[in-house]
A and B are shown apart, each in its own frame.
Chain A
């Protein structure tokens, strides 16, 4: 059975179809939540933001022109909301969170064992990237966005998308190196 396309759903939402809104929400709310929570690092804030994102969809569906995929449009709205929320938080709070994310808590036996697991270390270092680098890594690897789509969501030229992805991966390699994992790149 073929599911209703996103574009058809948006058309119905533009006409005030509440059920179409529920279907679209069910289809995308988890991915949008994960994108937002990786940016704002707070579940409660992320939950509030996804309600706002989908409320914007409800309000603006009639203006959706279909020039990009609905999922790309959703992520662009989500990104705008997340950055606005981040701006409302103090810089000190953000700095502490970033430091906390990359901080090595201790060298107890559990941590030593953890360090031996490359996958765990890779995930830890992915979590320790800056918001800008986390965002591009997530958009490319998890949200499966093309160069063009990332450019549209983030609002940067396509060449900058490639360069930013390169530097995000380079930073990841540096973080891994500092944890004793040498990848031989870059």
Chain B
């Protein structure tokens, strides 16, 4: 197999490997990486290392658990308190009712 002849281009492709593994590259960049991987055995080996890191990062994060119900209770208690202090204006409803109100008031004079 041939390696990529231009070293700067290889560095550029190698820098994209983590995003390629995560599937977050644009179609164009993903094609460039795929093409490079197909022709460069060392790059492909390094890509395997990236994939190992990806798998273990997911595993590590998945072991972190989740917040207790306390977090949600605290959030909605805070929202309720804010709404009790100063109820938020419903934008679309406000606009709609204002238009209705305007049309109702203006109705008799509109021809």
A62-B91, A142-B57, A144-B22 known; A47 vs B49 contact (CB < 8 Å): no
Determine if A122 is an interface residue (Cβ-Cβ < 8 Å). yes
Q: Judge whether A122 and B74 touch: CB under 8 Å.
A: no
Determine if A140 is an interface residue (Cβ-Cβ < 8 Å). yes
Q: Give the secondary structure class of B's interface.
A: helix
Q: Give the secondary structure class of A's interface.
A: helix
Q: Judge whether B90 and A25 touch: CB under 8 Å.
A: no
Q: By the criterion of a CB under 8 Å from any partner CB, how many residues of chain A are at the interface?
A: 47
Determine if B58 is an interface residue (Cβ-Cβ < 8 Å). yes
Q: Which of A14-22, A76-84, A104-112 contacts B (4 or more CB under 8 A)?
A: A14-22
Nearest CB in chain B: distance from A186 CB, A: 9
Interface residues on B, range: 35 or more
Determine if A68 is an interface residue (Cβ-Cβ < 8 Å). no
A119-B59, A141-B53 known; A50 vs B71 contact (CB < 8 Å): yes
B residues contacting A by CB (< 8 A) are: 15-16, 18-19, 21-25, 45-46, 49-50, 52-61, 64-68, 70-72, 74-76, 78-79, 82-83, 87-93
Which 10 A-B residue pairs are closest in the complex by CB-CB distance?
A: A141-B57, A16-B88, A51-B74, A122-B56, A51-B75, A47-B71, A146-B24, A142-B61, A162-B15, A33-B67
A residues contacting B by CB (< 8 A) are: 14-16, 18, 21-22, 25, 29-30, 33-34, 37-38, 43, 46-48, 50-51, 54-55, 58-59, 62, 119, 122-123, 126-127, 137-138, 140-142, 144-147, 149, 162, 165-166, 169, 172, 183-185
